[in-house]
Structure 1
Amino acid sequence: MGRMTQRLKVHRIGDRSVSRIESVAVEEPLEIRVAALPDRGVPAGGNPLRPASTTVTTTMRLPGDDFDLALGHLVAEGLIGGGDDVATMMHCTDTGPDGSPTFNVVEVTLAAGVALRRPITERTEVATSACGVCGSTSVDDLIAALPHSPADDEAAFGLEAIHAGMAAMRSRQRVFEATGGVHAAALLAPDGEVLVVREDIGRHNAVDKVIGWAAREGRLPLRGHALLVSSRAGFEIAQKAAVAGAPVLACVSAATSLAVEVAERSGVTLLGFVRDPRATVYAHPGRISGTDPGL
C-alpha cells in the first residue's frame, strides 16, 4: 500500500511476550495552498500561470487521495463552491531531509475569475487530523451560509440498505485491515451502491476526501445520497454533510448534541450506532423506511 503503511518491529506483551513485525498507518502533514488566476486564465500553451499562493491549512493525514482531500476541504469549509471553481491541482516539489520528494504540499489554482468565498481565518492555519474545526462560529452562521438545503430532499433508504452500505465500506478498508488505525467515509447512492470509500487517520479528513471525490465527479450537491462514516457524529461531521447537501448521515458511533442540532436545523437525517440490525435515528427519521416519521 505504498506510503499508506509502514512496517515496524513491535513487542506484544501479555500471557506470552513476542516480538513481531506489524504494519502501522503512516501519518504525515499535508499543506493545502490556494492560488488565484488572473481573469485572463490559462495561456494558450496549456500551462497555468503561477500566481502567489496562500496556505489555507496544514493537516495531519494518511497519504493518498491528496487532491480529493484538498478539494473536499475547500468545499466543506465553504471556501469554494465545487470542482468547477478549480483550474488545476498539483503536488509541489517539496523535499525531505534526505532530498527526496515528500508530496506533502498540494497547490490548488482557482479557475479564472474565481475568488475564495470567505477570508482565510487564523483557525485554518494548522489543524490536526482529528480536530476538523469548521469555518462557522455557530450553528446560526452555518445554517445561514448553507449553499444547498437538504431539508426538501425526498431521499429514502431502508435501514437494511444503510447496513449493507456500512458492510461494503468496511470490506473496502484496506489500510484499516492492515493496521487497525484509520477511519473511513463512503458515499451511498440512492440505488444502494457504494460509490466511493476513502480512508484517513482523521475521520474529518476521510469525509473531506469523499466530498472532494464528489466535487471532481460533478456530483455536488449530494442529493439523494447517504454519507457513511466509521466514527461518531460530531458537529464538524454534521456540518460537512450539510454543506455538501447530503440528506442522510449515518455513523457507526454516537452523535453529539451539536451534531443533532445541526441535523435538525439543516434537514439532515442523522443516524448513529449503525450496527446491524439496529440504529439510532437522532433527527428526521422519515427518510428511513420502517420508522415512524411522527416520532
Structure 2
Amino acid sequence: MAIQTHPSTITKFRAGEALVLTDTLAVEEPLGIALLHGPARQRKNLSVTMRTPGQDEELALGFLFTEGIIRRYDEVQELRHDDHHQLTVILREDVSLDLPTLERNFYTSSSCGICSKASVDAVRTLSTFSLPADAPSTWTVTPDWLHQLPERLRQQQALFAQTGGIHAGALFEPGGSLLLLREDVGRHNALDKLVGNALQAGQLPLQNQVLLLSGRASFELIQKAAMAGIRFVAAVGAPSSLAVELAQEMDLTLVGFLREDQFNVYHGLERIQPALTT
C-alpha cells in the first residue's frame, strides 16, 4: 500500500510555551505519466504531477481523459508501473493521437494543474459528454441536503483527519449517499482520480451525480467536471470568475461557499428545490 503520511518532528508554540511534538504530514511525491502509442510503440513523456501516492492508475486515466487525450477506457491496452515515480499508459496500436497537442509538455504542481499552459484557449477542451445547453434537469436537490455535505465529507476524509493538509473530491447520489471519495494534496488530482475510477468502471458520463470539492472551484476543476459530464458542482470554497463563466457556458450548476447554514448559487438555480427567490 502506498505511504500517504510522513511523521515530522516540530516545535509548537502555544500559550507562550514551546513544545516538541511529532506532526503528521501528507506525502507529496512526483509521478511521471508517459504514453506508448502507435505501431512503432513511440514513447511520449507527457506530464509530471505532484501527488499523494495511491490510486495512481486512476489519476493517470483521469488526467488523460480530462485532457482529451483518450476518450474511452478500451483505448488503453495496459497500465504499467515502471517504478514508484513513473507510470506508462500503453495505448492500443490503432488509437490515433492528436500529436500537435501532445507537443505541449505539462508540469502539474499540487496547487495548479495548468500553470504551464499558455492561455485559456489551450485548456478549453471540448467536453466529451457535455449535454446541450438547453438540456432539461431531470433531478433536483434540496438546500437542507446540500448543507449536510461538508460535514459528511469531513467524516470520511481519513487523510485530512491525520494531516489537515489534503484536498478531497467526492461524488454523491443526488439527495442521497456518498458514492466515491478521493483525497490528494492536489485538488485537481483528487478529481482526476474520481474521473479515472469512473472511466475504468464504465460509469461515464457522471450526469446523475453531485460533485463536492473540499476547497475552491477553479476553472480547471469545472472543465474537468464538464469533461466527465457532471452537471452539479458544489464547493466549500469560492469559485473563480472563469469557473463561473464556464459553468454558465456548460449549463452546469455551481454552488460555492457551502456551509451548514449557507451557500451561494452562481449558476443553475433550477436544480435546487424548493425554488429560491431572486
Normalised by the size of structure 1, how large is the TM-score? 0.85
Which residue of 2 is the match for residue 45 of structure 1?
Answer: none
**Separation of aligned partners in 2, 1:33 and 1:160:** 44
Which residue of 2 is the match for residue 13 of structure 1?
Answer: 13
The answer to whether 1:210 aligns with 2:210 is: no
Tell which deviates more after alignment, 81-90 or 234-243.
81-90
**Separation of aligned partners in 2, 1:82 and 1:170:** 32
Cα offset, 1:288, TM superposition:
1.2
Map 1:219-238 to 2 at 5 A.
Answer: 219-238=203-222
Which residue of 2 is the match for residue 116 of structure 1?
Answer: 97
The answer to whether 1:104 aligns with 2:85 is: yes
Instruction: Indicate which of 109, 114, 117 corresponds to 1:133.
Output: 114
Cα offset, 1:2, TM superposition:
4.9
Instruction: Indicate which of 61, 65, 88 corresponds to 1:71.
Output: 61
CA root-mean-square deviation: 2.3
CA offsets per residue over residues 12-36 of structure 1, 9 Å max, x none?
0132210011110111001011112
Mark the runs of 5 or more structure 2 residues left unpaired by the alignment.
none
* C-alpha contact (below 8 Å) 1:176/1:182 kept by paired residues: yes
Cα offset, 1:173, TM superposition:
1.0
Map 1:14-53 to 2 at 5 A.
Answer: 14-15=14-15, 16-36=17-37, 38=39, 51-53=41-43
CA offsets per residue over residues 124-163 of structure 1, 9 Å max, x none?
43121111118794369737x2212244253322233333
Which residue of 1 is the match for residue 139 of structure 2?
Answer: 155
CA offsets per residue over residues 23-72 of structure 1, 9 Å max, x none?
1011100101111253xxxxxxxxxxx93321111011111111111011
Which residue of 2 is the match for residue 289 of structure 1?
Answer: 273
Cα offset, 1:191, TM superposition:
5.5
SS of residue paired to 2:257: strand
Aligned residue pair count: 272
Map 1:87-98 to 2 at 5 A.
Answer: 87-93=77-83
Percent of residue pairs identical: 36
Change (3 A) 1:140 1:130: closer
**Separation of aligned partners in 1, 2:121 and 2:140:** 26
CA offsets per residue over residues 166-200 of structure 1, 9 Å max, x none?
33222111111101011000111235221111111
Which residue of 2 is the match for residue 188 of structure 1?
Answer: 172
* C-alpha contact (below 8 Å) 2:9/2:20 kept by paired residues: yes
Normalised by the size of structure 2, how large is the TM-score? 0.90
Cα offset, 1:270, TM superposition:
0.3
* C-alpha contact (below 8 Å) 2:2/2:53 kept by paired residues: no
Instruction: Indicate which of 278, 282, 285 corresponds to 2:262.
Output: 278
* C-alpha contact (below 8 Å) 1:156/1:224 kept by paired residues: no
**Separation of aligned partners in 1, 2:177 and 2:158:** 19
**Separation of aligned partners in 2, 1:5 and 1:140:** 35
